[in-house]
Chain A
Amino acid sequence: MAGSMPKRVKWRKSQKGTLKGNATRGNKVSYGEFGLQALQPGRVNARHIEAGRVAASHFLQREGRVYIRVFPHRPITAKPLEVRMGTGKGEVSYWTSLVKPGTVLFEVGGVSEDLAKACLARIAMKMPVRCRFLRRGHEL
């Protein structure tokens, strides 16, 4: 299994659940100066996050700082190929994070806006959801 996953879990497998509504938390740029915000609901799995992280670190060349704001907490199970239905739930195949519209996925700090824009655009290409560039700004 590529990418990160929880160290300890209470239950090995989880039910599918639904993904409704918008993000009410984690929808602001909190650590860096610029962020990448999801505009669609979706599952961002550990491989997507890892691909985004690698793309950012290659592009920034050890400059600035990258913050990952999502973590794959949800196990997704799958049955092996050519197996008949039944005989219980499949084994955990990969780990994913459930992303609602508005969730900030990545943040970048310590770099110029142009560089951050280019970096986050590269990360956005690796994401399974549509994203937009976000700037930390003053709110009244």
Chain B
Amino acid sequence: MQVANVKGEKRSAGGRHANERLRRRGMLPAVIYGHGEAPQSVAVSRHDFEIALHALQHVIALEVDGAKQQYLVKDVQYDHLHKDPIHIDLMRVDANERVRVSVALELKGTPAGAALGGQITQLLTDLHIECLLIAIPETLRVDIAHLGLNQSVHVRELSLPEGVKALHSPEELICICRLPKAAVETVATATGEGAAAEPEVIGRVAKDKGDEAAQ
């Protein structure tokens, strides 16, 4: 397991404006919690953290005032475009503690069914696992080279590293190789001559009937 080095500093001022000023300086607001201790507000270097994020590293070594400690990246809050991180949750953990994390599933190989026109549809992109902190895999590779047409890979068929337990149902589907369907739009469109010119107004018919009865 690789651990990314991230520089940080203590943070006392809270609130929207203080955090905006922090982000303009190239820092990200973060909070450290866990192990029954009081939560601590810190600011971490955005540049360092984005390198760790890009490398899919779940554990970072945060250096605050010369003291370095390892933390688990518990949650990352993104902006509305899901592009830039705006806040980080860090959790205090021991090296031999079992933790629950989400790991990316990577499909490897070209399925045998592709020669017959089959296409891979990936239904599960992340796998929730429980393992030791020191044994968190960066990604989990799924070999799909053997997949024929209309064959699939389930969670139970995964070969997970030792000590890693999947938290999904064993029957959950990861990917399937099948012939492409005709393009189907999920939202049916009301076009053409059969389409109603105006939608029905809820309660209007009942009200009209009521008016007629009164007359």
A76 interface residue, CB < 8 Å from B?
no
Which residues 176-215 of B sit at the A interface, judged by CB distance below 8 A?
Answer: 180-191, 195-203
Inter-subunit contact A57/B200 (CB<8 Å): no
Distance in Å from the Cβ of A99 to the closest Cβ of chain B? 12
Residues A101 and B80 in contact, CB atoms below 8 Å apart? yes
Contact call B187/A4, Cβ cutoff below 8 A: yes
Contact B183 A102 (CB under 8 A): no
A8 and B122 in contact, given A53-B189, A138-B104 (Cβ under 8 angstroms): no
B53 near A: Cβ within 8 Å?
yes
Q: What band does the interface of chain A fall in when counting residues whose beta carbon is under 8 Å from B?
A: 35 or more
Q: Are B183 and A60 in touch, CB under 8 angstroms?
A: yes
Q: State whether the Cβ of A139 lies closer than 8 Å to any Cβ in chain B.
A: yes
Cross-interface CB contact of B201 among A12, A23, A65, cutoff 8 Å: A12
* A-B CB pair tally, cutoff 8 Å: 107
Interface residue A6 (Cβ < 8 Å from any Cβ of B): yes
A1–B190 alpha-carbon span in the complex (Å): 10
Give Cα A28–Cα B82 distance, bound, in whole angstroms: 7
Given A7-B200, A101-B81, A140-B58; A2-B187 close (CB under 8 Å): no
- What does the 1/0 interface line of B56-95 toward A look like (CB < 8 Å)? 1010000000000000010010111110000000000000
The answer, yes or no, to whether A5 is at the interface (CB within 8 Å) is yes
Instruction: Scan A1-26; emit 1 where CB is below 8 A from any B CB, else 0.
Output: 11111111111100000000011100
Q: Quick check: B76 and A139 within 8 Å, CB to CB? A: yes
In the complex, chain B residues whose CB is within 8 Å of the CB of A64:
119, 180, 183
Binary contact track B115-138/A, C-beta < 8 Å → 1, others 0: 000010110011000000000000
Asked whether A102 lies within 8 Å of B82 as measured between CB atoms, the reply is yes
